[in-house]
């Protein structure tokens, strides 16, 4: 079953798990796929299938348009975010995920965000503002979304940051600052540096798959 109901507020796709047989005591994970600027709900589905072949998929399209390109929140310039809009859109996305969990009957305790660039940024914002929505996150090319006045505890959260050593968009110090924020929140966070720019590489996709298999029961 693959639906695109509009009543949830986001254009999206939901793809149920293709697991053939029940696995006792093994929870069914759902991947929350969050695309980058100019992407849509289709972009990361192949990636999702590659890193977690049996997981269900929830993939929304960002509602903000920048020169006609979908994003998950507004920015004022490259690397400068509209923080108020970011916080509003984070809450809006969290509510969508909660409502979708009731319609599609997936467990929020096993919701794993997989975000790229702008999608990784709003996934980070979800972790900082609405941590109950996610159990884990794989963040490809994230930036610090904002500096929280108060850090919520992320003790049970598993997070993988995948960064490019030569990324022209995300400075290394910004990535390391995000890593530090998650560490201070007591998340179980790891970082992988890919010898590339802002684009994704196959090696880090395999690294993400391996990390997921070690940290999450799928």
Residues designated catalytic: 117, 167, 198
Q: What is the dihedral of CA 58, 210, 189, 101, to 10 degrees?
A: 20
**Sign of the alpha-carbon torsion through 170, 32, 123, 103:** positive
Half-sphere exposure of 179 (CA within 13 A, CB side): 16
Rounded (10°) angle between helices 172-184 and 118-129? 20
Output phi, psi for 170, to 5 deg.
-110, 105
């Amino acid at each position: 079953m693959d639906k695109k109901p509009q009543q949830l507020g986001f254009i999206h796709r939901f793809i149920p798990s293709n697991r053939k047989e029940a696995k006792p005591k093994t929870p069914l994970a759902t991947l929350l796929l969050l695309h980058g600027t100019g992407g849509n709900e289709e972009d990361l589905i192949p990636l999702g299938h590659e890193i977690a072949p049996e997981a269900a998929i929830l993939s929304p399209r960002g509602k903000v348009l920048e020169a006609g390109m979908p994003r998950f929140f507004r920015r004022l310039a490259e690397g400068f975010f509209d923080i108020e809009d970011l916080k509003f859109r984070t809450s809006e996305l969290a509510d969508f995920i909660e409502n979708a969990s009731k319609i599609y009957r997936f467990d929020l305790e096993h919701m794993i965000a997989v975000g790229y660039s702008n999608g990784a940024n709003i996934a980070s914002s979800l972790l900082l503002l609405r941590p109950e929505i996610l159990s884990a996150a794989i963040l490809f090319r994230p930036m610090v979304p904002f500096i929280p006045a108060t850090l919520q505890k992320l003790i049970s959260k598993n997070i993988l940051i995948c960064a490019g050593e030569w990324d022209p968009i995300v400075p290394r110090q910004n990535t390391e600052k995000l890593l530090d924020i998650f560490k201070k929140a007591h998340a179980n966070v790891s970082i992988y540096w890919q010898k590339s720019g802002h684009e994704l590489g196959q090696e880090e996709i395999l690294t993400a798959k391996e990390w997921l298999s070690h940290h999450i029961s799928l």
